[in-house]
Structure 1
Amino acid sequence: MPKAYWINTFRSINDERKLAAYIELAGPALGAAGGKFLARGLPAHAFESGIVERTTLIEFDSVDAAVAAYNSPAYQQALRALDDGAERDLRIIEAAS
């Protein structure tokens, strides 16, 4: 099975406290679900329609593992902590073979 990549871009951050609570819960939840953080933070550059906001790239063993991580109770708790504190664009893509 090919690896999968979770790409999360924050389009806007409305509440830094909620973001901090989300980060505190989401990192451990995704790590426990097999996610390996490859990159996170602000982009060094953004081109075309890109925005300079927090972006996270996480590797999983498969698309199914990434989707299971998203649906896990621990990650859902992190999402509840974020509670409209940010607008995000989250995608899970399969690695090229």
Structure 2
Amino acid sequence: MNRASPGKVRKNLKSIAKTRPVDVKVGKRGITRALLLEVRKPLDKDGIVKVSLNAKKQIRIDQAKELEEELQAELISMIGKTASFARES
């Protein structure tokens, strides 16, 4: 079998996420039901989504964890205010 190792898959996803534009921006209200619906669209379509988070560091970390749980997706990378999530289709 010629299966890619998890490290190679993750590296490939990070490279895709790096060049991808931000799909959704989290606003003042934070993570709402409507935001989750919007985030799921590109995640379901492409298997990857890029989200711009809040300005404060601790809030960004909490939002990333919450999105990871709610979306049942893996946090691929978090650079500054931008987080990328991936899920197997």
TM-score category (smaller protein): 0.3 to 0.5
How does the TM-score come out when normalised to structure 2?
0.34
| Structure having the larger proportion of residues in strand | 1
How does the TM-score come out when normalised to structure 1?
0.32
| Structure having the larger proportion of residues in helix | 2
